[in-house]
Amino acid sequence: MNASPSLNPPIATAPRKPSWRFLCSHPAHLIALGFGSGLSPVAPGTVGTLWAWVAFAVLQPHMNDLRWALLIGIGTLVGWWACTVAARHLAVADPSPVVWDEILAFWLVLWLVTPASFWAQLWAFALFRAFDAAKPGPVAWADKLYKLKRGMPIGWAQGFGILFDDFVAALCALLAIALWRFL
């Protein structure tokens, strides 16, 4: 029995650069590329994280802990699919325009530090971006865990890996914040 093409898309033959046309061509692209924030020509991960911060501020008055947990949990499952599809269509195992991982991970950070002032949220933003970009220790381990050897097909493990290292970066940022608050 063959899987649906949208659930198991073919691998592109050569890496592609995403465009607005690519973004709108499949619902997974729209999600994975952070509703367009991942198309930024400069620092798409940072732009995606900023988009997450703005979206968090808009959603926060309508949310409680259960709603945040459901949004992040369901967002992770949908994101796993979306990131896998987008990576396969872009022919890159962890493409930089895919920013859904930053969005979910930063929502997790903000949810767990809220209530927090603008400056505390800015500090959380800086910590998360530092851990995500520099990939120290456990973040580097998580980033390498699902990497492919050259020529191997992009699969569900790589889609999960796109999300996983950002969740580890979020955990590291949260631990740093907790340590700072403790001291």
Q: Convert the pLDDT of each residue in 12-35 to its tens digit.
A: 567 889 999 999 999 999 999 999
- What stretch of H or E contains 156? helix 156-182
Closest of 170, 131, 166 to residue 146, by C-alpha? 166
What angle do helix axes 156-182 and 100-113 make, rounded to 10 degrees? Answer: 30
| d(C-alpha 86, C-alpha 94), whole Å | 9
Q: What residue spans define the domains of the chain?
A: 20-182
Q: Convert the pLDDT of each residue in 44-76 to its tens digit.
A: 999 999 999 999 999 999 999 999 999 999 999
Q: Tell me which amino acid residue 171 is.
A: L
* Cβ–Cβ under 8 Å, residues 149 and 171: no
Please state the pTM of the whole predicted model.
0.90
Report DSSP letters for 109-124, one per residue: HHHHH-S--HHHHHHH
Looking up tokens 């700072």 gives: 180
Q: Convert the pLDDT of each residue in 89-116 to its tens digit.
A: 999 989 999 999 999 999 999 999 999 9
